[in-house]
Amino acid sequence: MRILALLLLPPLLIPLLVAAEPATVIRPAELKQEPASDAATLATLPENTAVDALERKGGWTRVKAGAGEGWVRMLSLRFGGATTAKPGASGLSQAFNVARTGTSGTQATTGVRGLDAEQIANAQPNPAELAKLEKFAADRDAAASFAAQGKLSPTSVAYPK
């Protein structure tokens, strides 16, 4: 009888290990149809929206929210800590959460894979994105003013060899 119980127990616990992880949107975020910045936007999730994180892919997390299901940037989410339980979650599910995400119950790193050789070989310039980036550039006077406000002083750094 004990052996039968031991054989039946693990399959019953699997749903606890694959359950959605509670998270909160920390800044307004676009809910995308696919895990890509140029994918169709399904909705905009306001700050402090509670979501369930279902799957991770690169820098994106698939979530389920009141506005529907889709993908948001991982850095737009704060995952529930060990002391935060989803309403109705049992202590047993919280205990198994440790096995899924570490001792704190949250994901501490955000690994994003790099580009492979084929992607680099097929890369095309994107003037519109470059123009967006150039809007963030600071000229020499603005940088000097910012440094002076922060009481920063220039430091020479040797070029690495």
What are the structural domains, with CATH classification, of the chain? 2-101 (2.30.30.40), 117-149 (no CATH)
The C-alpha angle with vertex 93 and arms to 90 and 97, in degrees rounded to 5, equals: 140
Model pLDDT for residues 39-72, shown as the tens digit of each residue: 999 999 999 999 999 999 988 999 999 889 999 9
Whether 24 contacts 56, CB under 8 Å: no
* Residue 124 one-letter amino acid: Q
Whole-number Å distance between alpha carbons of 145 and 5 = 71
Higher pLDDT, 122 or 88: 122
Average pLDDT over residues 20-31: 92
Average pLDDT over residues 150-155: 89
Confidence band for 11, pLDDT divided at 50, 70 and 90: low
The model carries a pTM of 0.43
Confidence band for 73, pLDDT divided at 50, 70 and 90: very high
